[in-house]
Amino acid sequence: MSFTIYNTLSKQKELFKPIEEGKVKLYLCGPTVYGLLHIGNFRGPIFFNFARNWMEHIGYDVTFVYNYTDVDDKIINKAIDEGVEASEVSERYIAAFQEDYKRLGLRPHDHNPKVTEYMDEIVEYVQKLISEKKAYEVDGEVFYDIDSYNTYGQLSGMKLDELNAGQRVEVDERKKNPGDFVLWKPAKEGEPSWSSPWGEGRPGWHIECSAMIKSILGNSIDIHGGGIDLIFPHHENERAQGEGCTGCKYVNYWMHNNFINMKGEKMSKSLGNIIPARTFMDEYHPEVFKFLVLSSHYRSVLNVSDDKIEQTFSGLVRVYRALKVANDIVSNFETNDSAKVNKKFAESLKSLDKKIEKSVNDDFGTGELIASIYEAVRAFNTLGLEKKKKDVNSVPTANAFKEWVHKYGKLTALFDEDPAKVLSEINTILLKKKNIEASFVEELLAKRSQAREDKDWESADKVRDELHALGIDFQDTANGVEWSVKV
Ligand SMILES: [Zn+2]
């Protein structure tokens, strides 16, 4: 099996080799907790949840660390505005994050360290950098000396003179090089602070991740992830700290996920198009969100448009409808000994497994995985089992389909809910978009049934046309009328 990962440092796909046989140490930079996270912030958590599941699926034992930055200017400023302690703000938004994360059905991480819990380790780390002559102190402030690290800039591809030019605005005479960054800074009046050999203060942003990595995972880790906006300066600086402190290679594979754009534009405060993840989940559905994220490759920009959302709804409905058919068949029978899985169908599932393995092992090609799930649904629908729900011979095939989708559902955190429940939730969302009440649809359907009972075919047809004009699909089944909103 060949499993490759694109490494931002080498700018190419590399064969994955773990530091320790069979194990993966994975660290993903977490949020600064001062507000609700928007959909772009969740692309990393959704994708890396899948990446971890996949690596476990192919046999690795993964330790996954995701931190909370609970010491930061933005948190402090918000706390001052609200007249509360900084910890109140950070705890509130950690809880909000965890609520959203749970709603997405993503697996808990192995460790969720907070900066405030790692102050001793951070101070120790800065001391070590000073003793290694990688950092220096001026007036209670400690800076990293980037000239002491000769591959500084290699991860982001930034040249030192470009960096210096970028620093023109902020000239700090105390720095040896304008690109030197802060490891420890003195606290201002009223700010939370911790004691250190350089006086009361608090850490700079970058040092926390290096200190947590060293404490929890060790000197070197296999994979460090984050959004591409973190490559510079955050990860560039982390790398300098990590290798400056321990002399070991800090990270073997740097993985960065791209942005989410809304309708062709980058999300930004000034454009007013930032959508909190929970608003998106209320308006659409958590499954729609995950499906969107995993349909495109993590390194490409994900453009969320109305068309794309509509396609996603229709894709989800297709998968869940097929799962519902399979469920109905299976639940019609207690046991089945005589029948076998449709041979051709079993073969197509097997060949889709191979296709998925190949694409996901090639730097996590999740788009092909989603496309393969569609293919399996198509193959299942072609068998026409919907009309043979009461046929005991359909059971093994329906079961095989359910189990197959379930296997990938576990990895992707998709298609793992009760199909009837999701289809009904999607119906509600789509009706709301059309401004139609479900009770109104039920009323029309009852009217049609009555007309049919009265053999008033003309009225029955009229109501049918009215329902179709509203975009309502329906079928007469043994269990009554089943209806859904057209997507
Ligand atoms: Zn970080």
Is the confidence at residue 256, as pLDDT, over 80? yes
Quote the ligand 1 centre to 233 CA distance (angstroms).
Answer: 10
Nearest alpha carbon to residue 319 among 393, 371, 392: 371
Ligand 1: centre distance to CA 82 (Å): 27
The whole-angstrom distance between residue 153's C-alpha and the CA centroid of its chain comes to 28
Mean pLDDT check: name the lowest of 83-87, 383-387, 419-423. 383-387
**Against a cut of 0.75, is the pTM above it?**
yes
Number of other CB atoms surrounding residue 456 within 10 Å? 13
Q: How many whole angstroms from 300 Cα to the centroid of ligand 1?
A: 21
**Residue 435 — very low, low, confident or very high, per pLDDT cuts 50/70/90?**
very high
The rounded Å distance from CA 94 to ligand 1 centre is 16
Query: Measured in angstroms, how far is the CA atom of residue 40 from the centroid of ligand 1?
Result: 16
pLDDT for the residue numbered 479 = 73
Ligand 1 center to residue 129 CA distance, Å? 18
What is the CB neighbour count within 10 angstroms for residue 64? 25
Residue-wise pLDDT for 300-316, tens only, equals: 999 999 999 999 999 99
The domain locations on the chain are: 4-138+148-170+203-257, 306-421, 436-485
The CA 196 to ligand 1 mean position distance, Å, reads 22
Contact residues for 210 (Cβ-Cβ < 8 A; gap 6+):
125, 238, 241, 242, 245, 250
Q: How far is the CA of 83 from the centre of ligand 1 (A)?
A: 28
Which CATH code fits 4-138+148-170+203-257?
Answer: 3.40.50.620
209 Cα to the center of ligand 1, angstroms: 5
**In this structure, which long-range contacts are made by residues 418-426, counting pairs with CB atoms below 8 Å and at least 24 apart in sequence?**
419/320, 419/321, 419/323, 419/324, 419/327, 420/324, 420/327, 422/285, 422/287, 422/316, 422/320, 423/317, 423/320, 423/321, 423/324, 423/484, 425/285, 426/285, 426/313, 426/316, 426/317, 426/320, 426/485
Tokens of 149: 């690290």
Please tell me the distance from the alpha carbon of residue 181 to that of residue 210, in angstroms, as a whole number.
Answer: 14
CA of 66 to the centre of ligand 1 (A): 9
The mean pLDDT of 175-201, rounded to a whole number, is 95
- At 177 the three-state DSSP class reads coil
Q: What percent of the chain has pLDDT over 70?
A: 97
**Nearest-angstrom CA–CA distance, 38 and 274:** 7
Q: Residue 420: its pLDDT value, please?
A: 93
Rounded to the nearest whole angstrom, what is the distance from the C-alpha of residue 60 to the centroid of ligand 1?
Answer: 24
Place of tokens 């931002």: 8
